[in-house]
A and B are shown apart, each in its own frame.
Chain A
Amino acid sequence: MRHNRARNRTVRTEYADIEFENNAQRLPLVLCLDTSSSMSGPPIQTLNEALREWARELHDDVSLSHSVDVAVVTFGQQGVSTWQGSRQLPPQSPDSPFVPAHAFRPPLLFAEGVTLMTEALELAMWIVSARKTELRRSGLQYYRPQICLVTDGLPTDGTGHPTDNWKRVVPVLAAEQQARHFRLYAIGVGGITPRGEEVLQAFAPKFNARLNGFPFRQLLQMMSASATAEQKGAGDEVFEKIFSQFKTQRPAWES
């Protein structure tokens, strides 16, 4: 009997009538994903598969599934877009793109178009800020949000030409990270160039990496590990360790 009770983790009659509010602590997590034309073919397929597997893992984690809120921002086809789970939101939509992890269904992404990375990051920061306002208004407590930027290229303008407009966001990101408004991870994948790497270093001086290939599974697992550390109230050194382990494990995946 005890075995069954432990497995089910249900509450017996004595406490079964307790009424709880839906007030779990929230952890906003934004995936800011490059879906420009250079990601077409196997990279975008790998990303879609990794998102599906990650969603399953999130569902299986009793804690993350009820505290993490996932939003997806893509930059590529149709410029910059937000996704509420699998649903692409129309531009200027009043709907929040955040979905509780237990209800998160990943989008099916297609690779096409230009790399409006700067605009995507600005949008990611904006939705994080709006989400915090919404949470505070609802009286909900929250953890420090996480934004994960993933790209294989250089920022471009709307016509696909490389641009330096990303420099405008660097001081903003620095101030926001200094004020601990969110944690930003900036990850370069595939054939990202040294110039592209420099951009990511400027965005996230401590938490940037260049990965060979497209190890999206490991990347998303690292985001879950980071979310878990956040829940445990870990110090910055723990996040640095998680990230460093993530980077040094690369050879195993790449081989």
Chain B
Amino acid sequence: MDRQDRQDRQDRQDRQDRQGWYDGLDRHDGPARPGWRIHGMSVEGYRHRRENIPCQDAWHSAVVGPPDAAVVVLAVADGAGSRPHSGQGARFAVQLATTHFGQRAEARPQTAQEVHELLLDAFVDVREEFVSRTEGDPDDFAATLTVVVLAPTWLGHLSVGDGFVVVRSGAEGGERHFHLLPQPDAVSEYSNETVFLTSTDAEHWVHTECVRDDGIDGVLLSTDGLTQAALSRPPGRPRGANASFASAVLRSLDSPGPDPHADDRALAELLRSDRLTAFNADDKTLLRAVRA
């Protein structure tokens, strides 16, 4: 590639970025409900940006129930790169998730067992509706799905695929603690192979978790595009949260700046930065919730 080609490519990309700066971002400041401040963002990864392919990640949130016992449902999904309608699938999956998990959460489970059952039942609801409403081959819409339900006395987590959740809870010596919630087992030795909502045996790969911890005051959900940035895996130790990353992105939602657009731009710059691209060229999604 000669210099002119390179310049042309850079110019094209810059134009694309400028056009996409506001319109291309899937962003939203959550409803002003008491309890949690919510913010989500998906940005297209380096590969999709270079090839002018829209983002195939999606996120969605919903607040259900009465104000004094509101339940927040958070969902992120990553459309399979190899499938033709996976971006649409991801958007559909997160919307179905907030609907069905929200409906099921109204049952107000009392025990951890009931929470697990609720999560699995909601997953089956999502999967059934997803399969019945995706015309043609549901696999063409394949997407991972990671859901968190924030109820007054429990946190429920369900994941199929390689999305992940980090929670902030507790502190020691002024340093906040961050915990990676357990993830489903890896299906293959390769990092780009995973299970999707539509996979035939998806229900066997689903992981559910019920956490009871009043100290949780920050949650972040992400698709695998941020795995290397947001998670840490010291040699010989299990994978955990990269406290530095979780701390910074939750802090910026704890104390938002005066201009929400400026906050969005700063976060989008982080997600699109060369530093993060070098780790992972996938689309990136960050859905955060902090106690307001």
Contacts and interface: CB of A to CB of B under 8 A. Distances in A.
Interface of A: 2-3, 5-7, 9-12, 14-15, 17-21, 23-25, 57, 60, 62-63, 65-67, 132, 137-144, 180, 228, 230-235, 238
B288 to A, nearest CB: 13
Nearest to A138: B235
Interface residues of B, number: 50
Given A18-B244, A23-B228, A12 B190 contact: no
A29 B47 CA distance: 19
Interface string B175-194: 00000000000001111111
A42 B211 CA distance: 67
A9 B193 contact: no
B251 to A, nearest CB: 9
A23 B234 CA distance: 10
B18 A19 contact: no
Contacts of B194: 233
B249 A25 contact: no
Nearest to A181: B189
Nearest to B232: A21
Given A6-B17, A25-B191, A60-B6, A12 B80 contact: no
Given A11-B269, A23-B233, A144 B190 contact: yes
Given A12-B266, A15-B248, A139-B233, A63 B281 contact: yes
B190 A9 contact: no
A218 B187 CA distance: 34
Contact of A25 (B228, B232, B235, B242): B228
B14 A9 contact: no
Given A2-B21, A20-B229, A23-B228, A142 B248 contact: no
Nearest first, the 7 closest Cβ-Cβ pairs linking A and B are: A141-B191, A66-B278, A139-B233, A63-B281, A233-B192, A232-B81, A235-B82
